[in-house]
Amino acid sequence: MIDSILETRGLTKRFGGLVASKAISLDLRQGEIHALIGPNGAGKSTLIKQIAGGLQPDEGSVHFDGKDVSKLSTAARARLGMGRTFQISSLAMEYTVLQNVVLGALGHRGNVFWFFNNVMKDAELLETADAALTKVGLEDFRNFRASDLSHGQRRQLEVAVALTLDPKAFLMDEPMAGLGAEGSQQLIGFLDTLRHQAPILLIEHDMDAVFSLADRVSVLVYGEIIATGTVDDIRTNSDVRNAYLGEEGAA
């Protein structure tokens, strides 16, 4: 328990009669990739919103780095070190690639209320920004507008911005979505090394990615975690095979 950076305890969220999250308890430990899988509509997005902020659970709490962060805003949780990437790329689209990463570095550094500096000439921020771009392989696209990037490059940029935050944990919502086979392979390789910098809570549809990357897997069905375990545990778990991998299991 001591080395778990992120933990949810009994998160429950109802929308009218629908229970979107049912007493969800899971944790993310240092150095691991914990994958969260589940069929569409299982409540993955609802869960990540409660973890990252922006949606208050009806019951239960979120603990991050030893603190109860349930009442904190999204921004405050990000400052504590939650590095989030979004399912649908969420960037400042009119900004260049470099401006987007500098934005991340600036958000992390704080001191936002400076009115007379030239932020794009700030050596400290540029250094952080360039390091992040190099890490994801976007260094040649510094001056491209985010809106001119390909889909895959936007995903890379999201990860780069998250890197500038020097997070204690990453929350990644389907980072592989829409990437080609080659792009996915590259990103898998990258995430594989990233886990040593900070653990990753990975929400992903791509089963190959999950099974090749994850240290542990949790399966979410109808708002409830029906199993958590290693890849092998999950592969052989009969509940999971019935509820989720049913079709593949039968084949």
Partner 1 sequence: MTKETLLNAVLLCLLLAVPLIAWVSDEPFIITLTTRAVIFAIAGIGLNFALGFGGLVSLGHAVFFGIGGYVMGILAYHAQTYTPLMEWPFAVEGTKSMLIVWPVAVVVSGLAALAIGALSLRTTGVYFIMITLAFGQMLYYFTISWSTYGGEDGLSIYVRNTFPGLNTMDPIQFFAICYVLLLIVLIGVHCAARSSFGLMLRAAKQNEERVQAVGQGPYRLYLIAFTISGAITGLAGALFADLNRFVSPTMLSWHTSGEIMVFVILGGVGRVFGPVAGAALFILLEHSLGGLSEYWHIYLGAILLGVVLFARGGLYGLLAGREVAHD
Residue 64 Cβ vs partner 1, minimum distance, rounded to whole Å: 13
Tokens at 195, concatenated: 């886990």
Residue 195 Cβ vs partner 1, minimum distance, rounded to whole Å: 20
Which residues in this chain contact partner 1 in the complex, by CB under 8 A? 52-54, 73-76, 78-79, 84, 86, 90-96, 99, 102-104, 106-108, 110-120, 122, 143, 145, 161-162, 164-165
Beta-ladder partners of 26: 8
Tokens at 128, concatenated: 């952080």
DSSP string for residues in 63-120: EETTEE-TTS-HHHHHHHTEEEE-SS----TTSBHHHHHHHHHHHHH------SS-GG
Give the sign of the dihedral formed by CA 62, CA 66, CA 67, CA 72.
Answer: negative
Cβ proximity to partner 1: between 53 and 57 the closer is 53
Cβ proximity to partner 1: between 169 and 240 the closer is 169
Cβ proximity to partner 1: between 19 and 131 the closer is 131
Give the sign of the dihedral formed by CA 110, CA 137, CA 151, CA 33.
Answer: negative
Residue 115 Cβ vs partner 1, minimum distance, rounded to whole Å: 5
Residue 244 Cβ vs partner 1, minimum distance, rounded to whole Å: 29
* Greatest C-alpha distance within the chain: 65
Residue 72 Cβ vs partner 1, minimum distance, rounded to whole Å: 11
Cβ proximity to partner 1: between 145 and 235 the closer is 145
Cβ proximity to partner 1: between 44 and 84 the closer is 84
Query: Integer distance in angstroms from the first to the last C-alpha of the chain?
Result: 39
Tokens at 165, concatenated: 């935050």
Residue 96 Cβ vs partner 1, minimum distance, rounded to whole Å: 5
Cβ proximity to partner 1: between 64 and 86 the closer is 86
